Structure 1
Amino acid sequence: MSNFKLADRLAMLPPYLFAAIDKAKAEVAAQGMDIISLGIGDPDLPTPDFIIEALHEAAKKPVNHQYPSYIGMLAFRQAVADWYKERFNVDLNPNTEIVSLIGSKEGIAHFPLAFINPGDLAIVATPNYPVYPVATNFAGGRVKYFPLLEENDFLLDLDAIDEDTWREAKMIFVCYPNNPTAATATPEFYRKLVDKAREFNVIVVSDLAYSEIYYDPAKKPLSIMETPGAKDVAIEFHSLSKTYNMTGWRIGMAVGNPQLVAGLGKVKENVDSGIFQAVQEAAVAALRHGEPHAEKFRAIYKERRDVVSHALNKIGIRHRVPDASFYLWCNTPEGHTSSEFVTSVLKQTGVVLTPGNGFGKPGEGYFRISLTVNNDLLEEAVSRISKL
């Protein structure tokens, strides 16, 4: 049999965090252990029926059986513009400031190819979604990490980034509501970030995938696009995955600076052929009529958050009670590393957790719980953990 060597860009990659979790979960399940997975952030709630019905009707149209537009149907881009206006009071030009994505992960992964040359520097706030550094490295770029610390409520300390780094950086990745810490950004943070980016001509890459999972209407997460001057430097990635339980549908959007949107669009012209138009039509229905359903989902996640928080308090595990996202960021018990703790929990109880250090070095000493199973399973999971 032939032996083919992987390209260096793949050979240098660590195991993808969530693929490694799936592998470990399968190994324990094969031993007959009953698994409760609180690892990957994949909603267990179904996509609302009206979205499925919209897909069904759209799939019958022969026009939707042909190649779609590379940048997305105008109807979809207009729906995105209208949604941003209603949700964030942000004006977007659907022709120049919006591009459709096959899920936000795809867009984030391709974006550095448009603007990172070999040797260029990207700043990554960490712990972080693993795609940010991987995409930068695939484009030949370099990554410099800056920590998100508990004492700063997991907001990036922009003053800790030295002036030489700002001058050298091509782009900076931020994610609020944050995955994995669930922290949210303030208007002051975004103003300072935009001012710094404008001063040093740095591209801001904002990941907003969790903005619609929030628990207090008075604390709705912000879009960086609400910040004056953001369109000068920023592109924002969003998705229908978490908002409407559409993770498997693979549809999202990038919005913002026209040059940045066009650059991403240029990459996508050469690597994919767009999104099935029937899915785009269903996404239009979701954006236009999905808010009552999103409100119901938020209520379910809030109840789950409170159930888990109460149970963790009873067994003495410190954790952050989130205002947004469906994650709890928890401190590992004293004397355990992140990996040791979650491995022990998995092997002895069948409960899948995500080790904090899998998101970067500052995640050591933490683990993440995903609220994507029902209350009974959440209570059972914490009960099993308590017996360790």
Structure 2
Amino acid sequence: MQFADRLNSFGGNVFADMDLAKAQARAQGQTIIDLSLGSSDLPTPAPIIATIAKALEDPGTHGYLLHQGTLPLRKAIAVWYEKRFGLAIDAETEVLPLIGSQEGTAHLPLAVLNPGDVALLMDPGYPSHMGGVYLAGGEIYPMPLRAENQFLPVFADIPGVILSKAKMMVLSYPHNPTTAIASLEFFHTAVQFCRDHDLVLVHDFPYMDLVFDGRELPPSILQTDPHKTCTIEFFTFSKSYNMGGFRIGFAIGNAQLISALKKIKAVVDFNQYEGILQGAIAALESPPAIVQQTVAIFSQRRATLVDALAKIGWAVPLPTATMYVWAPLPPSWSGNSLEFCQKLVAKTGVALSPGSGFGQGGEGYVRFALVQEPTILATAAEKIGQFLNHN
């Protein structure tokens, strides 16, 4: 049996290696403290659940939901975005509900890239961004994100020969995995760069609410492109509202890009269950306290973990955003990030994400996901300390 050549791009990866390492650790009797996946352990807020539950009683919600049936959510999204960012949004042409932002970042390259076209991606970056380019037969040019540059790409370093073939750039701030934040000034530079080189500018924005220490909430890329000349932004309800399992998000931005993505989506699926969209509307219309409570929980967790790691002699930066800690490998460790994570889970049951899973630029780091209670995070740090003392 023969398969498409594109599958060669989806071979083994370090996350598959870590899944195997976790399974082997369980088989050896380890209790796993899984800090490797960014899947919130917090419950979906009760008003959202109540809205979805009520919809279940209505048989009219039980059938296929075509695009026109999503108009109430699209209108709610437009109102919410205008209130938050002061941007006028056309609910009919500039908004598209999605099955999470990952659907958007994976499918948009199919609408933008021809085989051989180049996409400019962050390195390190979220793996789904790479997968969508591979599906479209595109090529990836990694934009290095370095600590000395506040984990922002340096556009001047991109060679002209690459730009001549490039069709799109993907950014995502607050950033997974580095937890970096981008300023409005940086986005102005990015938008102008993409206009100058005729690039589609994609901004993946799942952590827009998860910012700590009273910092100003991060900007939307559309604030620097209010006429939506070249930009599209993706949002998910998975992080702010703990709705990961409900698979609900949206795209917002340039009408031509929204239309093109809609054509791809129409081939792949209809839409989610209508009750989920009603739950998303309830989320957008909920009081700010619902999101603020989630932010407070993750803020406490990151402080607990960073303090606990400091006590074992592993100094890591305190993140300013997201639900992660991005940590340079301990100075005493001489191997790579995958080896560290594999041995750590085998010896202690503590599972982390190796930095190399996010691209070559992630080597030398590991990512902690703050998806456990503070007491468990402290226990994980103690176990790591024991591991480091015996290696």
Same fold (TM over 0.5): yes
Q: Which deviations, in whole Å up to 9, do the C-alpha atoms of 1:177-232 show, x marking residues without a partner? A: 11111101111110000001111110011100111111133331221111145611
**Cα 1:71/1:39, change in 2 over 3 Å:** farther
1:343 alignment partner in structure 2: 342
Aligned partner of 1:57 among 54, 57, 60: 54
Instruction: Give the deviation of 1:100 after TM superposition.
Output: 0.4
Q: Percent identity?
A: 39
Partner SS state of residue 217, structure 1: coil
1:321–1:328 CA contact under 8 A, matched in 2: yes
**Cα 1:94/1:303, change in 2 over 3 Å:** same
Instruction: State the alpha-carbon separation in 1 of the partners of residues 313 and 227 from structure 2.
Output: 42
One-letter amino acid of the counterpart of residue 221, structure 1: P
- 1:287 paired with 2:303, answer no
1:70–1:265 CA contact under 8 A, matched in 2: no
1:137 alignment partner in structure 2: 134
Aligned partner of 1:249 among 246, 249, 262: 246
Instruction: Give the deviation of 1:303 after TM superposition.
Output: 0.5
The CA RMSD measured in Å over matched residues stands at 1.5
1:370 alignment partner in structure 2: 369
1:81 alignment partner in structure 2: 78
One-letter amino acid of the counterpart of residue 357, structure 2: G
- 1:164 paired with 2:161, answer yes
Instruction: State the alpha-carbon separation in 2 of the partners of residues 244 and 23 from structure 1.
Output: 30
Q: Which deviations, in whole Å up to 9, do the C-alpha atoms of 1:34-53 show, x marking residues without a partner? A: 11000000011111111111
Instruction: Give the deviation of 1:92 after TM superposition.
Output: 1.1
Normalised TM-score (structure 1)? 0.96
Instruction: State the alpha-carbon separation in 2 of the partners of residues 10 and 138 from structure 1.
Output: 8
Instruction: Give the deviation of 1:175 after TM superposition.
Output: 1.0
One-letter amino acid of the counterpart of residue 381, structure 2: V
Partner SS state of residue 10, structure 2: coil
Q: Which deviations, in whole Å up to 9, do the C-alpha atoms of 1:140-188 show, x marking residues without a partner? A: 1111111100111101112212333333210011111111111011111
1:275 alignment partner in structure 2: 272
Partner SS state of residue 23, structure 2: helix
Instruction: Give the deviation of 1:137 after TM superposition.
Output: 1.3
2:378 alignment partner in structure 1: 379
- 1:319 paired with 2:319, answer no
1:128 alignment partner in structure 2: 125
1:72–1:274 CA contact under 8 A, matched in 2: no
2:297 alignment partner in structure 1: 300
1:177–1:324 CA contact under 8 A, matched in 2: yes
**Cα 1:189/1:256, change in 2 over 3 Å:** same
Normalised TM-score (structure 2)? 0.95
Instruction: State the alpha-carbon separation in 2 of the partners of residues 39 and 71 from structure 1.
Output: 38
Q: Which runs of 5+ in 1 are unaligned?
A: none
Q: Which runs of 5+ in 2 are unaligned?
A: none
Instruction: State the alpha-carbon separation in 2 of the partners of residues 144 and 272 from structure 1.
Output: 30
- 1:113 paired with 2:81, answer no
Aligned partner of 1:38 among 30, 35, 44: 35
Aligned length: 385
One-letter amino acid of the counterpart of residue 241, structure 1: S
